[in-house]
Structure 1
Amino acid sequence: MKIAIISVSNKGQEVAINLKEKLDGDSTIIKVDLYHKNVKHHFPVLFYEYDAVIAIMASGILIRSIAPLIESKVTDPAVLNIDDNANFVISTLSGHLGGANKLTNKVAKLIDATPVITTSTDVNKKLGIDVLANDLYLSIDNPKEILFFNKSILNGKQITFAINPNKNVDYLLEYLDNVTLEIDVSFSYLEDINTDEIHVLLDDHKIILKERRIVAGIGCRRGKECSKIYDGLMDSINKLNISKSRINMLSSAEIKKDEQGILELSEKLDIPVNFVELEKLKLFESTDIKKSEFVYSKFGIYGVCEPSALITAGFDSKLIYKKTSYDGVTISVAISK
């Protein structure tokens, strides 16, 4: 997640600086940029360039600033509102699909504030269908149906997940077993459903949830054991709350194509690995990747795990876990649009 923090007062700026320092240490936060004052000038840019905007200011200023920019719960960024004294963190926009509710709880814990969340499913301890989709990195084909399904869940109705019988959906079953929010579901298995889809059904209504491709990028020292790479990967996906059955592909650079630890990991997890050509890595540009001069001096490329993950995830993909080191192993995670 890429986050912009904007403040208007000197006191709010202090809160912003403190919060940035805490968020920078979180591998699931790709970058944090600070902005101060000039709210009318900054907001039109922040709204489209970042996954989340944290506004440290009066709610009136925030609401008037974002009102002309709001378009859709599918595309709007998460917006949080914090008061100058950092007493409250309010989930203001895109609570579910944008991740504002989850980020609100994270930020409130970091600055010892009270989280304020008002979405009906959350306050009634029910699992919204958009929350499930966001947590499992699934796209929703018909967002207009979200309201119908969430109302049905609030009213205790049973919804059906229709799945291809040949698809491993352990990640969905694990999620439903572990989630603390209530939802009544049944399962049906239909061979004509695509293996990367889950159809959500009730009465004559349907939502199609489709897997966004999740790619784990791997870099490692020569001869690194499979167990060490595995441990790094498991730590990474645990911090993302992703089951290993949800990972679609592993990736690395072609210079690692004979690396036994990576090949053994692919076989152990039954997940294919893509070794990206050096030329593609040399040409790849992204402001989000961490450049390594050491790697460049040896191989002529600025990185392995982040660019290979982004290239493998496809055009317009983004990082959801930045390059993190684990004793000679580096892991990143990218997701398709």
Structure 2
Amino acid sequence: MRLAILSVSKKGYDLSLKIKNKLDNDSTIIKCDIYHKDVKNTLNLLFYEYDAIIAIMASGILIRSVSHLLESKTTDPAILNIDDNGNFVISMLSGHLGGANKLTYKIAELINATPVVTTSTDVNKKLGIDVLARDLYLSIDNTKEILYFNKSILEGKKISFTLNDNENYDYLLDYLSNNTLEIDVSINFSGNVNNGEIEAECDNHKILLKPRKIVFGIGCRRGKTSNDIKKAIQTVSNDLSIDISRINMFASAEIKKNEKGILDLSKELDIPVNFVDLDKLKLFKSNDIQESEFVMSKFQIPGVCEPSALITAGYDSKLIYKKRAFDGITVCVALSK
């Protein structure tokens, strides 16, 4: 998540620094930038550049400054509002698809504040269809149906999921068994659903959920075993609550194409690995990656795991877990658009 923190007062600025210092070691926060004052003009710039904005100011200032920018729950960034004293963290916008609710709880815990979340499914302890989609990294083909589905969930109506009978949906079944929160759910299998896709239905209303590509980028010293790499992959998967069966691909640089540990793990987990050509890596540019001076000096590429993952995930993909080192192994995660 690319995060911006905007404040207007000295106390708000000090709180911004406190939050940033706590988030800098969070691998799910790809970048965290601080801005101060000139709220309206700054929000005009931040709104389209960040996944989430934390506004430390009075709610009236925030609402008046951001209202003209709002477009859709599928595209608007997550927006949180915090008072100068850090007493309350309020989820203001894009609570589900944008991740504002989850971020609200995280920030509130970091600064010992009270989280304020008002979305109906959350306050009634129900699982929204858009929450399921975000948690499992699925896109929704007809976002206009989200409101109907979530209203039906609140009313206790049955939601049916139809899956392709030749695909592995362990990640979905495990998720539903752990997160149904009293929702009435049925699971059906059919060859009429495309591979990997999930068809949700309620009262003749349908939503098609399509998996976004999840790519784990891997870099490692020569000789690292598949078990070593697997432990690192599992740690990152646990951090993101991603079931191993949900990973679509591994990615690394061409210089690692004969690395036995990566090849053995790819075979063991039945997850294909893409070794990206050095020429593509040399041309790759992104403000979000952490460049390695060593790799640049030796191979003239900015890095291994992050650029390889982003290239493999495709155009306009983004990092959701920045490069993390594990004793000679680096792992990151990229998500397709």
TM more than 0.5: yes
Q: Which residue of 1 aligns with 2:158?
A: 158
Q: Tell me, yes or no, if the aligned pair for 2:40 and 2:66 is still in contact at 8 Å.
A: no
| 2:73 aligned counterpart, secondary structure | coil
| 2:193 aligned counterpart, secondary structure | coil
Alignment of 1:1-337 (within 5 A): 1-179=1-179, 181-337=181-337
Give 1:79 deviation, angstroms.
0.1
| 1:19 aligned counterpart, secondary structure | helix
Unaligned runs of 5+ in 2: none
Letter in 2 for 1:240: L
Q: 2:105 and 2:181 mapped to 1: Cα distance?
A: 16
Q: Tell me, yes or no, if the aligned pair for 2:215 and 2:312 is still in contact at 8 Å.
A: yes
Letter in 1 for 2:48: Y
| Identity value in percent | 68
Give 1:196 deviation, angstroms.
2.3
Give 1:24 deviation, angstroms.
0.8
Q: Tell me, yes or no, if the aligned pair for 2:80 and 2:90 is still in contact at 8 Å.
A: yes
Letter in 2 for 1:11: K
Give 1:174 deviation, angstroms.
1.1
| 2:48 aligned counterpart, secondary structure | helix
Give 1:265 deviation, angstroms.
0.7
Q: 1:249 and 1:177 mapped to 2: Cα distance?
A: 25
TM-score, scaled relative to structure 1:
0.99
Q: 1:45 and 1:142 mapped to 2: Cα distance?
A: 29
Letter in 2 for 1:229: I
Give 1:180 deviation, angstroms.
6.4
| 1:189 aligned counterpart, secondary structure | strand
- Larger mean CA deviation between 186-195 and 54-63 belongs to 186-195
TM-score, scaled relative to structure 2:
0.99
Cα shift readout 1:26-85 (whole Å, capped 9, x = no counterpart): 001100000000001100111100000000000000011110000000000000000000
Q: 1:221 and 1:324 mapped to 2: Cα distance?
A: 14
Q: 1:40 and 1:151 mapped to 2: Cα distance?
A: 34
Q: 1:214 and 1:118 mapped to 2: Cα distance?
A: 30
Q: 1:140 and 1:81 mapped to 2: Cα distance?
A: 27
Letter in 1 for 2:110: L
Q: 1:289 and 1:317 mapped to 2: Cα distance?
A: 12
| 1:285 aligned counterpart, secondary structure | coil
Letter in 2 for 1:287: N
Give 1:182 deviation, angstroms.
3.0
